[in-house]
Amino acid sequence: FQASVGLLLGVTLAFYYEWRISLVALGVAPMMMISAAINSKVKVGSMINIEREGGTTHSTVSETIINYITVASFANESLIIQKYKANLLEKVKKEIRKCHVSGFLFGFSQFMQFGMYTILFWSGAKFVENYNVKGDDLFTAIYVMMFAAIGAGQAQQHGPSAGKGVEAACKIYDIIDEPSKIDPFEMNNDQIFANKQNVKGEIEFKNVWFRYPTRKDSWILRGLTMKINVNECVGLVGQSGSGKSTIIQLLYRFYDPQRGQILIDGVDIKRYNIRSLRAQFGLVQQEPVLFNYSVKDNICYAKEHATVREITAVAEIANAAQFIEEIEEEKAEDPTQFPENAMQPLRGSAASEHTYEELPKGYNTLCGVKGSKFSGGQKQRIAVARAIITKPQVLMLDEATSALDEESQRKVQEALDKVMKDRTS
């Protein structure tokens, strides 16, 4: 729109100052616009292509760095280096071809541009000689028309990009507007809001059949029927892929079964408000997920108004209090200090300003990306503390100790034995 208005105003002003040269300029304006568009497209397009095609090379480097232990353990660095060289060589060949094409197009656009200048100035000289045209009006008309045409030509390069942007935006909004079959934020009058009074922990599967949407030819659960009583501890044993983790996902309603029914305390699970039901569950996974926030913020992630006493109590139950409180002494020898703003609690976090300093400083230590500052057993015990801070009615353990060493397994298992008492697990 801006380029169109600029071109229209340029043509109007050019005709106002000198209509003869304006007619000549209109004749060569399309060539000027094409020249400007080619010039801009070559400059912008080459930068975009370089960035896009460098993805494979960058991916090879990043994967090697992230998985260096695996690469080094097989003593196969030379293979990665050869692959990286091959990617670079292919990229160099493409870039050389692009440089030749870009150079030709740039030279051609410059040839057209200066050729048009020649035509305009030669025509202007004839008009001055034969029609007594004023020189200042002539040059004003030429340059107004010239700059308007160049601006319109440069704006044309954004047309394809704008079209791609609209197409991408449409796809994004199609996904956003796609109605979810299981919407945790859906509210209606028929929903039952789960709480500790109406959810005691009785779970029943009635002839449940389930397969994942991406694997419609493979049933994971075939007519599963079982009942778990309140405060009962049940272990599901089976080979990999037999559906143990799937049962947890069905209880959390990440999926719904294709057939059959799941009951929580005698009520169809679909009748409960999803978020309120999930709040009655606690989950400890095989690979615990910790956020790069403080230990305290990770523990009270499930309960935004948890008190200091609650945080320290669940840490004690999870056998995590000792190593968390010892972090302060270890940090005394470490000259690296975390920035103060990184130590502040999250918005909606458990600790308020007046309770923040009451916790041992170890609770304010950042966990690192994916909990990288702690061992597997330590991360798992923090995850146990997080799972039980809401005092869930149902505690689910998805192979919570399978990836730990013997000592860590013992400590985590001791913690789990404590928290599994008096609740369905």
Q: Walk me through the domains of the chain, giving residue ranges and CATH numbers.
A: 2-174 (1.20.1560.10), 203-278 (3.40.50.300), 281-419 (3.40.50.300)
The rounded distance, in Å, linking the Cα atoms of 302 and 306 is 9
Cβ(260)–Cβ(209) under 8 Å? yes
pLDDT of residue 209: 92
Cα distances from 345 to residues 137, 301, 354, 397, in angstroms, run 69, 11, 12, 28
Which residue is associated with the tokens 């309770």? Answer: 355
- Confidence band for 187, pLDDT divided at 50, 70 and 90: confident
pLDDT of residue 318: 79
The rounded distance, in Å, linking the Cα atoms of 200 and 143 is 82
Q: Is the pLDDT of residue 234 over 80?
A: yes
Q: Is the pLDDT of residue 336 over 50?
A: no
The per-residue pLDDT for range 205-228, each reduced to its tens digit, is: 899 999 988 888 888 888 889 888
Which residue is associated with the tokens 């913690």? Answer: 415
Q: Is the pLDDT of residue 63 over 80?
A: no
Q: Is the pLDDT of residue 395 over 80?
A: yes
The answer to pTM > 0.75 is no
What proportion of the chain, given as a percentage, has pLDDT over 90? Answer: 1
Which residue is associated with the tokens 């100790």? Answer: 401
Q: Is the pLDDT of residue 330 over 50?
A: no
Q: Is the pLDDT of residue 185 over 60?
A: yes
Structure tokens at 142: 């030429």
Q: Is the pLDDT of residue 67 over 60?
A: yes
Task: Say how many residues make up the chain.
Answer: 425
First to last CA, the chain: 64
What proportion of the chain, given as a percentage, has pLDDT over 70? Answer: 78
What rounded mean pLDDT belongs to the chain? 76
Structure tokens at 358: 């009451």
The rounded distance, in Å, linking the Cα atoms of 116 and 389 is 77
Q: Is the pLDDT of residue 51 over 60?
A: no
Q: Is the pLDDT of residue 342 over 50?
A: no
Structure tokens at 395: 């505690």
Question: Which of the pair, 274 or 98, is modelled with greater confidence?
Answer: 274
pLDDT of residue 74: 60
Contacts of 64 (CB under 8 A, 6+ apart): 71, 80, 84
Q: Is the pLDDT of residue 150 over 70?
A: no
The per-residue pLDDT for range 159-172, each reduced to its tens digit, is: 566 667 777 888 88
Contacts of 238 (CB under 8 A, 6+ apart): 244
The per-residue pLDDT for range 13-45, each reduced to its tens digit, is: 777 777 787 778 777 767 766 766 666 565 555
Phi-psi region of 399 (alpha: psi -120 to 50; beta: other; left: phi over 0): left
The per-residue pLDDT for range 362-386, each reduced to its tens digit, is: 888 888 877 778 888 888 888 888 8
The rounded distance, in Å, linking the Cα atoms of 269 and 185 is 16
